[in-house]
Amino acid sequence: MNLLLAEDDAILADALSAQLRRAGFVVEHAPNGAVAEYLLLKQNFNVAILDLGLPMVDGLTVLKRLRAARRQLPVLVLTALDSLDDRVAGLNAGADDYLTKPFDFPELEARLHALMRRGRPPTASAALGDLVFDRDTRRASVRGEPLELSPREAMLLDLLLSQRDHVVTKEQITQAWAQDGSDNSGTGSIEVYIHRLRRKLEQSGLAIRTVRGLGYLLENEAAAA
């Protein structure tokens, strides 16, 4: 579950990022509105937390530009602005939920999960090339034939599919594995699992491309050629 946290308070951002990672999220932090806008328009996230009082570009402007770009990402506004007018302005700008500071983390987490359930498509399956992957069960098939995947291979494939057309970094992979309770593998083991997954996807019409110095990209073999 990839989450963007747009928050300029460094202390709050660090504490909240740590809590969110323990709750199973892969967190990308934006310290100002300009960075938040860039990331929201260039990367894929499952949900975003957006402060309204961001420097450089305020959160309300970021939200309006996001919706103008027709991005349907679930957005929770988290702000100290608690007047009725502020709430109405945030919701009218395109926020899916509005929570004021101070807040309790369990409520924030529950609201995030509710937003993602609300925005989830009727099927949790992803299809690319000849591959079909069920995100709920983490089962994959190629042309109807089951594909045997270890838990880590399934998690890696899920991450690559969720970030389709975007590079998945080694840091994102290690974070995802750590949140699954297996944080004792260094980045050296990533290449091993990438190699195994590549071999298993040979008949799927898909390829995992290594983007030197950045990470990995899942794409159709025709595009990779």
Query: Is residue 109 domain-shared with residue 40, that is, in the same domain?
Result: yes
Number of continuous H segments (helices) and E segments (strands) in the chain: 9, 12
Share of residues in the chain with pLDDT > 70 (%): 90
**Residue 95 scores a pLDDT above 70:** yes
User: What pTM value is reported for the model?
Assistant: 0.55
Q: How confident is the model at residue 197 (pLDDT cuts 50, 70, 90)?
A: very high
Q: What is the CATH number of the domain that holds 77?
A: 3.40.50.2300
pLDDT digits (tens, 9 = 90+) for 135-161: 778 889 998 899 999 989 998 998 898
Res 123: pLDDT: 44
Q: Within this chain, do residues 10 and 115 fall inside the same structural domain, yes or no?
A: yes
Are 161 and 210 in the same domain?
yes
Q: Where does a domain end: 73, 90, 119?
A: 119
- Boundary-marking domain end, from 119, 144, 162: 119
Per DSSP, 163 falls in state T
Count of structural domains, the chain = 2
* Residues 131, 109 share a domain: no
Q: Which domain holds residue 207?
A: 125-224
Contact 10, 51 (CB under 8 A): no
Question: Which bin fits 123, alpha (ψ -120 to 50), beta or left (φ > 0)?
Answer: beta
Domain boundary among 119, 148, 170: 119
pLDDT digits (tens, 9 = 90+) for 37-66: 999 988 888 899 999 999 999 999 999 999
d(CA 16, CA 52): 16
Q: pLDDT per residue over 102-114, tens digit each?
A: 999 999 999 998 8
CATH of the domain at 218: 1.10.10.10
